[in-house]
Amino acid sequence: MRIFDLIRMGLRNLTRRKARTLLTVIGVIIGTVSIVVMISVGIGMNESFEASVMENGSMTIINVSSENWEENEDGQWTSTTQKLDGEALEKIRAIEHVKGVTPIINNWSMGLFSGKYQGWGNFMIMDMDCYEDFGYPALEDGTYPNKETSKDTVYFGAQAQQNEFYYWDGRRSKTKTIDFDRDKVEIKFQEYQINPRKKEYTIKLKNIGKIAQSPSGYSEADWSIFMDIDMYKEHYTKYANTLKIDDRKKALASLEKYERIMINVDNMNYVSDVQDEIEKMGYKSTSDMQYIEPMKETAEMLELVLGAIGAVAMLVSAINIANTMIMSIYERTKEIGIMKVLGCKVGDVRKLFLFEAGIIGLIGGIVGIGLSYVASWALNTYGGQIFESLMSGSLGVAEGSQFSVIPFWLPFFAAFFGMSVGVLSGFFPALRATKISAIEAMKSE
């Protein structure tokens, strides 16, 4: 048979029993809509979940701190300390999937001075080669700092640039916002008592880099002042040399220890693996991921459950198609016999039935996709309250996020899936049709 004749004959057979075909197609439509909508809701939930998580910071960062606070069984907070040094750093750097590692020193005793005015800042002393890896915003000129550019440059976050400097003249305090382009700024270490026999050590800032504002405007990068660790060590050693002998020893020793090691993992999915590795080395670590993991698992579970509901609907419609095809074969037993005697090949009989089943699946799939878009739109427009109650307890729904998201591949998947379900469920009935003996078939009425 020519393919065109096969299609025409198949379509004619389907239109012969309009009601039955229609009901079977409706079955497939329901199956398709439920599976598409369920998947889209799952995807929508995951997306809004990730969006709200992203607002809170990067998901791939792990922190290993020298001091860890933990709540014990009695509800009291106790701290434990662990030693973080160059050795720990190198061990962590060797872990698979670790993209960037930097030691962090937050020296709170560094003061900013501009003439008589004094200001404070949160100094982030880190390996500036890793700056970009940790998702910090670019500089105002669009570039990122690295070790080379950071030899004598200190970078101010968007908020840190706005910090006011104070001056107490004995009666009242005066404030001043520093213009980094014109005012001279110095850094002084105020950790130890000044050695009166030596000149106080100051860092005169020659170059100041301005960091652009982060998307949220209030992230760590915005209120921090970044300095490369090598630059810090150089200056701090010089500072230590101005101190009294006892203080000098302490100061130099403190350089060997880090407050924190920050790790960036190349993929969200490996964060917990890397944390496990760090744990094996004997270090405690924390990450945002760690808190989010259970919530993510809940969301994934919900997605799976929704998908399963859709799959059940699809299974029912597959059975429905098979049933329709079997009925159709019973009805057309005689016709099949006649066709065979008139020279119709067995393969053509099979193709005919597979085509009919496939078309039911395809039409159901296509109409189903259309209705899925309608359902998805309705959910996004009117379904807010339902989903807010569903999502409560995990994470707040991010502003402007959608409850049902149909990605571009889903309609193609659904159409293909519908047709495959049709062809598969039509396969055994079709096989049965080919086995009908012509002589028996023609005897039947």
Partner 1 sequence: MSEPIIEVKNAKKIYKMGKERIRAVDGVSFTVDKGEFCCLLGTSGSGKSTLLNLMAGIEKLTSGQILIKGESIGGMSENKLSKFRQENLGFVFQSYNLIGSMTALENVELPLVFKRVRGGKRKKMARRILKQVGLGGRMRHKPKEMSGGQQQRVGIARAFVSKPDIVFADEPTGNLDSHTTIEVMELIKSMAEKNNQTIVMVTHDRKLSEYADKIIHILDGKIESVEIVDHTGAGNASPPEEKSPLEVQSDDLSTAVEQTPQDNTEESKGIEESTEVREEETHETN
Q: Which is nearer to partner 1, 5 or 279 (CB)?
A: 5
- To partner 1, the closest distance from the beta carbon of 273 in angstroms equals 58
The two structure tokens encoding residue 154: 């200190």
Task: Examine residue 11 and tell whether it contacts partner 1 (CB under 8 A).
Answer: no
Task: Examine residue 18 and tell whether it contacts partner 1 (CB under 8 A).
Answer: no
Cα pseudo-dihedral 109, 88, 152, 121, rounded to 10: -30
Neighbour-count burial of 5, counting CB atoms closer than 10 A to its CB (0-12 exposed, 13-18 middle, 19+ buried): exposed
Task: Examine residue 233 and tell whether it contacts partner 1 (CB under 8 A).
Answer: no
Task: Examine residue 435 and tell whether it contacts partner 1 (CB under 8 A).
Answer: no
- To partner 1, the closest distance from the beta carbon of 350 in angstroms equals 12
Task: Examine residue 16 and tell whether it contacts partner 1 (CB under 8 A).
Answer: yes
Task: Examine residue 438 and tell whether it contacts partner 1 (CB under 8 A).
Answer: yes
Q: Which is nearer to partner 1, 174 or 345 (CB)?
A: 345
Stretch that binds partner 1, among 39-47, 277-285, 333-341, 420-428 (CB under 8 A): 333-341
Task: Examine residue 9 and tell whether it contacts partner 1 (CB under 8 A).
Answer: yes
Return the residue of 233, 284, 334, 432 that touches partner 1, per CB under 8 A: 334
Q: Which is nearer to partner 1, 256 or 440 (CB)?
A: 440
Task: Examine residue 75 and tell whether it contacts partner 1 (CB under 8 A).
Answer: no
Q: Which long-range contacts (CB under 8 A, 24 or more apart) does 175-184 make?
A: 176/114, 176/117, 178/114, 178/117, 178/119, 180/156, 180/208, 180/210, 183/114, 183/115, 184/114, 184/115
- To partner 1, the closest distance from the beta carbon of 435 in angstroms equals 11
Q: Mask of contacts with partner 1, 341-380, x by CB under 8 A? A: xxxxxxxx--------------------------------
Q: Which is nearer to partner 1, 26 or 442 (CB)?
A: 442
Stretch that binds partner 1, among 12-20, 53-61, 131-139, 234-242 (CB under 8 A): 12-20
- To partner 1, the closest distance from the beta carbon of 405 in angstroms equals 45
- To partner 1, the closest distance from the beta carbon of 8 in angstroms equals 9
Return the residue of 33, 43, 128, 339 that touches partner 1, per CB under 8 A: 339
Q: Which is nearer to partner 1, 56 or 437 (CB)?
A: 437
Stretch that binds partner 1, among 159-167, 252-260, 336-344, 385-393 (CB under 8 A): 336-344
Task: Examine residue 12 and tell whether it contacts partner 1 (CB under 8 A).
Answer: yes
Task: Examine residue 335 and tell whether it contacts partner 1 (CB under 8 A).
Answer: yes
Task: Examine residue 327 and tell whether it contacts partner 1 (CB under 8 A).
Answer: no
Compute how many residues bind partner 1; rule: CB under 8 A: 24
Return the residue of 296, 340, 350, 351 that touches partner 1, per CB under 8 A: 340
Q: Which is nearer to partner 1, 296 or 351 (CB)?
A: 351
Q: Which residues form the interface with partner 1 (CB under 8 A)? A: 1-2, 4-5, 9, 12-13, 16, 334-335, 338-348, 438-439, 442
